[in-house]
Amino acid sequence: MFTRDRNFWKSVYVTFVYVIVAVPMKLAFSLFIAMILNMKLKYINAFRTLYYIPSIFGGSVAVAILWRFLFNRGGIVNQFLAVFSIKPIDWLGSERWALFTISLLTVWQFGSSMVIFLAGLKQIPGEVVEAAKVDGAGRIRIFFKITLPFLSPMIFFNLILQTIHALQEFTAPFVITGGGPLKSTYLYGLMIYENAFKFLKTGYASAQSWILFLIIMVFTALVFKSSPYWTFYQDSEDNR
């Protein structure tokens, strides 16, 4: 049945693209904010609280509705672009931009990843950074040679967690675009929902759910298998 179902393969493709786009964006933005909040600034604890708030409401229907309001053709985003003489973009009605707009909403839910990265940054030994500075290392070199290796366990954890979350995404495409335009945001979770509750093909939807479970299991196993080659643990004599 899967081989004859064009919607199935379309949803697999769209979900794959969504994961490839949304997860790296979310992890990069989370790390960027974590590094800012790791600075010694006045009222930094208040800023940390404010930056975490979006993650509390990030996956809600209310935020999805707000996103649709912001990115519709006459929305605030296009009004802002008009200030710079940029023509309005059909964010939600264009195949080119719809999935990217949904991905931006995923980035909005950066709070949990940010907290994990921030905890990792706090564990980096200050003497290691100071020694690198004495040796003449700049910020970029310190970031790639010290910060990223020490954060690799957090990257490992966030990568698995956020990829699983992205594979299961449902609320944003359901509320904002309904899977359109032309199924350009037809994610796997939305397909399962439609087959189960719209077309009443509960058996088919159940089979699709099991396939998603297997995909998640295989992905997680592959990441665990590859982790010894790129994950560094400070308290271990060698990598896992």
Whether pTM > 0.95 for this model: the answer is no
Contact 168, 215 (CB under 8 A): no
CATH fold of 2-229 reads MetI-like fold (1.10.3720)
pLDDT tens, position by position, 221-239:
999 999 999 988 876 544 4
Question: Would you place residue 170 in the very low, low, confident or very high pLDDT band (cuts 50, 70, 90)?
Answer: very high
| Mean per-residue pLDDT, 176-185 | 93
Please provide the average confidence, as pLDDT, over all residues in the chain.
89
Tell me how far apart the terminal alpha carbons of the chain are, to the nearest angstrom.
41
Q: Alpha-carbon Rg of the chain, whole angstroms? A: 21
At residue 233, the pLDDT reads 82
pLDDT tens, position by position, 20-63:
999 999 999 999 999 988 888 777 777 777 777 777 766 678 88
Stretch among 14-18, 44-48, 52-56, 205-209 having the lowest mean pLDDT: 52-56
At residue 212, the pLDDT reads 96
Q: What are phi and psi of 134, to 5 degrees?
A: -60, -35
Pick the residue with more confidence: 114 or 62? Answer: 114
Q: Which residue has the tokens 């907290």?
A: 115
Distance CA 154, CA 234 (A): 12
CB-facing half-sphere around the CA of 191: CA atoms within 13 A: 27
